[in-house]
C-alpha cells in the first residue's frame, strides 16, 4: 500500500498524467486489448465473426497508436516548439534563451519540475506557459490525427491485412479456397481432355 501510494504521488506519475501523449497511449492500449477481449467473450455472435472483429479492432487501434506517436513526435512536437518559440510573446521569454528544440526544452522542464533547476518566479511562469502551449499543440495534433488521418489511412490498410489473415483466423476459409482451387484445376484438365478428344 505504501509503495503504491508513493508511486501514485510521485513527480513522475504527476508528470505522466498531465501529458497528453501518455493519456493517448493509455487509452489506446486499453482499447487495443479491452475491445478485442470483450468482442471475443460476446456470445451473441459466431466464433468466426468474433475472431474476425477482434483481430480487426486490434489492428486498427495498434496502427493508429503507431501513426499517432510517429506524427506527434516528428511534426507536432518538433515543429510545434519552433512555431511557439517564434511567436512574439514567447520570443521575449528569458527562460527559453538557448533552448532551440523540444528535446532540450523537455530536459530543462524536467529539471525544473523536479526542483533541480534554479529559476526566478518569472522564469518559472515562462516555462509553465511554454509547457502549456506545447500541450495545446499536442492536443490539436491528437484531434487531427486520431479523428481524421488515422481512420482514413488505417481503413485502407485494415482490409488488405485482414484478407491476408483471414485463412489464419478461420481455417475453414483456407480449406474452402484450396477446394475451389483444386476443383478449378480438375475442371481445366477436363476441358483440355475434351479439346484433345475433339482434335482426335
Q: What is the mean pLDDT of the chain?
A: 77
Indicate whether 150 pLDDT > 90: no
Q: CA quadruple 156, 151, 26, 58: dihedral positive or negative?
A: negative
Q: What is the pLDDT of residues 38-57, one digit of tens each?
A: 888 888 888 888 888 888 88
Indicate whether 11 pLDDT > 70: no
Residues in the chain: 200
Per-domain residue ranges of the chain: 2-166, 170-200
Indicate whether 64 pLDDT > 80: yes
Ranges 29-33, 73-77, 80-84: which has the least confidence: 29-33
Q: What is the pLDDT of residues 91-126, one digit of tens each?
A: 999 999 999 999 999 999 999 988 898 899 999 999
Read off the pLDDT band of 167 (50, 70, 90). confident
What is the CB-side half-sphere exposure of residue 174 using CA atoms within 13 A? 8
Tell me how far apart the alpha carbons of residues 3 and 41 are, in angstroms, rounded to a whole number: 34
Q: What share of the chain is helix, strand, coil (3-state, %, to 5)?
A: 85, 0, 15
| Local structure of 92: helix, strand or coil | coil
Contact predicate 102/123, CB 8 Å = no
Distances (CA, A) of 64 to 25, 137, 141, 172, 180: 10, 19, 13, 30, 36
Tell me how far apart the alpha carbons of residues 18 and 71 are, in angstroms, rounded to a whole number: 20
Residues 6+ apart with CB under 8 A from 29: 65
Greatest mean pLDDT among 2-6, 15-19, 27-31 lies in 27-31
Q: Is the pTM of this model over 0.85?
A: no
Read off the pLDDT band of 85 (50, 70, 90). very high
Tell me how far apart the alpha carbons of residues 83 and 171 are, in angstroms, rounded to a whole number: 53
Amino acid at each position: 500500500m505504501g509503495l503504491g501510494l508513493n508511486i501514485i504521488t510521485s513527480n513522475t506519475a504527476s508528470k505522466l498524467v498531465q501529458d497528453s501523449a501518455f493519456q493517448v497511449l493509455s487509452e489506446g492500449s486499453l482499447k487495443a486489448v479491452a475491445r478485442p477481449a470483450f468482442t471475443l467473450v460476446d456470445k451473441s455472435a459466431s466464433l468466426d465473426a468474433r475472431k474476425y472483429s477482434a483481430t480487426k479492432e486490434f489492428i486498427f487501434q495498434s496502427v493508429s497508436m503507431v501513426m499517432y506517436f510517429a506524427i506527434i513526435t516528428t511534426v507536432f512536437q518538433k515543429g510545434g516548439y519552433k512555431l511557439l518559440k517564434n511567436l512574439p510573446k514567447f520570443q521575449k521569454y528569458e527562460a527559453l534563451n538557448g533552448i532551440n528544440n523540444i528535446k532540450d526544452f523537455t530536459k530543462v522542464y524536467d529539471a525544473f519540475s523536479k526542483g533541480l533547476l534554479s529559476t526566478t518566479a518569472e522564469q518559472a511562469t515562462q516555462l509553465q506557459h511554454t509547457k502549456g502551449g506545447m500541450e495545446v499543440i499536442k492536443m490539436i495534433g491528437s484531434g487531427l490525427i486520431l479523428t481524421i488521418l488515422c481512420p482514413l489511412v488505417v481503413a485502407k490498410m485494415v482490409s488488405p491485412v485482414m484478407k491476408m489473415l483471414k485463412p489464419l483466423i478461420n481455417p475453414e476459409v483456407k480449406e474452402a479456397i484450396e477446394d475451389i482451387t483444386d476443383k478449378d484445376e480438375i475442371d481445366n484438365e477436363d476441358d483440355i481432355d475434351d479439346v484433345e478428344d475433339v482434335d482426335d
